[in-house]
């Protein structure tokens, strides 16, 4: 058994950026275009793009409403 912690996040990002480099996906597209769903709160919000998920900047808290970026 190995303790991976957050290592798999980096590997996933590498694979995703290789797809971007190959022209198969774009970071500026909404995540719903690629069938990524974050649950009922943000599921169909076109403002959330793949680049927001990769950089951890999509946020919501009690002091503000959702705003990507």
32 confidence band (pLDDT: 50, 70, 90): confident
Q: How far apart are alpha carbons 55 and 40 in whole angstroms?
A: 22
What local confidence, expressed as pLDDT, does residue 69 receive?
Answer: 47
Burial of 10 (0-12, 13-18, 19+ CB in 10 A): exposed
For the chain, what are the domain ranges? 7-67
pTM given for the model: 0.61
Question: With pLDDT > 70 as the criterion, what percentage of the chain qualifies?
Answer: 74
Within 8 A by CB and 6+ apart from 19, the residues are: 25
**Radius of gyration over alpha carbons of the chain, in Å?**
14
Q: Are 16 and 54 in contact (CB under 8 A)?
A: yes
């Amino acid at each position: 058994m190995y303790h991976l912690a957050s290592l798999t996040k980096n590997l996933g990002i590498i694979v995703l950026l290789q797809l971007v480099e190959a022209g198969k996906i774009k970071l500026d597209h909404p995540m719903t275009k690629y069938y990524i769903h974050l649950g009922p709160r943000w599921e169909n919000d076109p403002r959330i793009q793949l680049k927001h998920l990769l950089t951890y900047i999509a946020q919501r808290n009690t002091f503000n409403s959702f705003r990507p970026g």
